[in-house]
Amino acid sequence: MLQLYRPFTTLLFCILCLQAYASNTQIPQIDAADSAFHGRLSLSGTWALVRNDWPTLKDIQRGTFTTENIEIPGFLHAGTGEQSHGHNTFLVRISNLNQTFVSPAVNIYELREAWRAWWIDDSGEYSFLGESGKISKTPADQQQQTQPYLLEFPSDSASGTLVIYQSSHHLFSTGITSELTVTEKDDALRAILTDLAARFLFFGVGLFVIIQNLVFFAQRRKETVLLILAAFAFITLARSALSSGYVDYFINQPGFFFYSIRLEYILIIFPGIMALQLILTVFPIAQSKPMLYASYLLLGMTILLTSQMSVTQMTQYLPVYQAAIFVIGLTCIALICRGLLHKADGARSFLLAFTPIMIAVANDIIANRSPHYSFYCADYAIFIFLFLQSQIQASRFVSALDTAEHLTENLHEEVRIKTEELSRQNSLLTEKTQDLEKQHSQIKLLSETDHLTGLYNRQTLESHAKLMIQLAFTYNQPLSLVMMDLDNFKQINDRFGHMVGDECLIFTASYLRGYKLRKRDILARFGGEELVIILNDTSLEVAREITQALCEGLASQPVTGDHPDIHLTASFGIAELHSSRSSNLKDLFRCADLALYRAKQNGRNRVESYRANRPAIKL
């Protein structure tokens, strides 16, 4: 009997093992056609996670790896075990993508530490989507930035797997901590630009508050409240700039992340201390100085401990920072309530203005600890408070002036005369400022352009070209560079003189400007009789057609004047960024120059293109 059951139990065991293996390698799927709503596809839900491993794209395609299911967005904490720190892989399948979107893209911001994203199409093609720095299996080699990043999916892909490799060696909490939403690329870019515009407006209000209070403080040095408001606004502005991630666009250094996050944590406490000093100045008590000394001692200890702790320890103790700022805020509320009980002037308005800050701080603490809620508003609430208080102080400032004006008629007249004088000075200053701006614009134009032809000079050309090449590599777009050299130009100078030679250069520049080039294309004088044209988002074939038309058109239009008609011809050399295998601007110029040299050698008045001899390297 046992012999009869043994094959059956063995077969059952094998089936259960295979089923368990299949379940461990199955990647959750999101159907874009069914799940998209109003042009937005949320990627929240169940994802596959491979802990402490980066399976290759081929292994992922074959399914030869083991996963576990997790909910996204969500946290992975260092405190839950060593497996959460190190390197992980997040995977999710998306189907029917091209049926729902024309140019699908997703904006990534709250993806902790360093990551790299790939798309594996069901057809077997791999597409690199982007990265936030340098992923690594060791903490020393990891590099990361916190700036927003836009991932663009292949527009012709129907279904595939989104793969995010992540290395997390520093922060206590890691993982995908905010909702990822697929939208059209234009909508995603519009959202980024809207957020950037809102932050610029926010920073503008902050700068206005700082400058306004500093100007008023310069006129009334006894009003220390104005100086405190300016310092309060500056610290809040600095903290908001660091936490936004946009600072990383301007300071693109590998180690800046560690400095910025430490400074950001220090600036969690600092605004609360400035708020406490502001309230103690407006509503002083007998223990004001000891309280201020204690608060600044707390700040010093925070700076010392933050600078000495590792980033992992520092982020682990984030609740301590948050608790400290919350306690300071409650102390401020208590001081305001005490002022209200003692019927202090402005206590009621202060309480009404400060209470929303405490609500916003509590909201930010909740948002920071919840992966499903990411609306932060404390900085906005603080700046609204500062703006209102600045206007109140400004109103007090103006009221003091009005009171002084009405003391005597003579004083009123004197103030009126001084005001008119100040107005005239302001008008003169405005006129001088406008003149300086005009002069600055003229100087800038002269510094960027060639004085003879009016085209960009070589320095401006190289500055713009480097940016265009960077964008061409980033978005995998073609970019063609055309070098143009007037034929027999030395003979023209020798026969007719340099004035006529300059006239020919001016004519050629005018001819190029009058041609149907796009605004995003660049014309520049490279040197002597050499001119350069950069055709953005233009393939080598299209660039050759445009250049051939330019070549033929130039030869058909004579240069007229107080001299015999001169028929100009030019030789053109073209090099395209990708087909020439150029890695930088210098290589691209060299390739175009070789093509130009070939045009000269083959008889002039012709167009030659550069093509690389070696085959393309496919990654």
Set 131, 223, 529, 576: catalytic member:
529
Distance CA 520, CA 472 (A): 13
* Three-state secondary structure call for residue 166: strand
What are 209's two structure tokens?
A: 């508050």
Distance CA 195, CA 189 (A): 10
Q: Which of 528, 546, 529, 550 is nearest to 537 (CA)?
A: 546
Hey, CA dihedral for 430, 435, 440, 441, is it positive or negative? positive
CA angle (495, 496, 501) in 5-degree steps: 110
What are 335's two structure tokens?
A: 């001081």
- Output the CA torsion 60→71→268→248 (10° steps): 30
- Structural contact between residues 253 and 307, judged by C-beta atoms closer than 8 angstroms: no
Let me know if 129 is exposed, middle or buried by CB neighbors in 10 A (0-12, 13-18, 19+).
Answer: buried
- Structural contact between residues 147 and 195, judged by C-beta atoms closer than 8 angstroms: no
| Element housing 89 (H / E) | strand 86-95
- Structural contact between residues 533 and 517, judged by C-beta atoms closer than 8 angstroms: yes
Report which residue type is found at 216.
F
In our burial notation (b when 16+ CB lie closer than 10 A, e otherwise), range 250-277 reads eeeeeebbeebbbbbbbbbbbbbbbbbb
Please give the DSSP secondary-structure letter assigned to residue 474. Answer: H
- Output the CA torsion 181→182→187→188 (10° steps): 70
Residue 231's alpha-carbon distances to 240, 329, 357, in angstroms, are 14, 18, 17
- Structural contact between residues 192 and 150, judged by C-beta atoms closer than 8 angstroms: yes
Question: Does residue 71 have an active-site annotation?
Answer: no
What are 1's two structure tokens?
A: 């009997």
- Structural contact between residues 188 and 105, judged by C-beta atoms closer than 8 angstroms: yes
As beta bridge partners, residue 448 has: none
What are 179's two structure tokens?
A: 């909702």
**Parallel, antiparallel or unpaired: strands 45-50 and 68-72:** antiparallel
The DSSP-derived string for 335-373 is HHHHHHHTT-TTHHHHHHHHHHHHHHHHHHHHHHH-TT-
Distance CA 166, CA 586 (A): 35
Q: Which of 321, 317, 232 is nearest to 276 (CA)?
A: 232
The DSSP-derived string for 264-289 is HHHHHHHHHHHHHHHHHHHS--TTHH
The catalytic residues are 529
